[in-house]
A and B are shown apart, each in its own frame.
Chain A
């Protein structure tokens, strides 16, 4: 069990550029979540997938953000025309569909927009 892996761990970009983050969940898990965390705050829900279907998107996810999970395996989160307010840690988590709702998190991808 290699856990949830995220890539890259840190991305520095200039305002207006596009960035893409990748998440590889635990292989047996059918749910995959994206959260955003800023300094001193808890993770904020962005979106989640069950297999390849995107079931919910937060209103935090503007039209500059898009997430995919082709074939229900890895997922990508793309941010277009980045803004300084997008600077944050982007956390991916995976889980089974279960009553406990336990999420297994990756170590996150930190985005810095200059």
Chain B
């Protein structure tokens, strides 16, 4: 079993839809949770960062962490075609290295 599980998708939604992306994990020591976005043929870039449990909002993006369930989510409101990318969850317990999920490919069509 992988430490971090993520539904690979692909997920195809119309412009303006609310998108929910999720990851589960098995290591209860994880404390730092991130979402990276990766466009085709590019390296991942940090989108959201959350420490421990709770919610964090940044514009159209909301990250949620539920440590009791070992479950994290990323919500995208009013999705745009420019949001089409692969979304990777990542986490760490001591910031030495990040463990990534497999990534969910999202396509937002006009």
A residues at B contact (CB < 8 Å): 4, 33, 35, 40-45, 48, 55-56, 91, 93, 97-108
Contact = CB atoms under 8 A, between A and B. Distances in A.
Contacts, number: 61
Interface string B97-110: 11111110000000
Given A45-B98, A45-B99, A102 B46 contact: yes
Nearest to B97: A45
Interface residues of B, number: 25
A103 B95 contact: no
Nearest to A44: B100
B59 interface: no
A105 B45 contact: yes
A40 B8 CA distance: 8
B96 A56 contact: yes
15 contacts: A41-B102, A41-B103, A42-B103, A43-B88, A91-B43, A99-B51, A99-B95, A100-B49, A101-B32, A101-B34, A101-B95, A102-B49, A103-B44, A106-B43, A107-B43
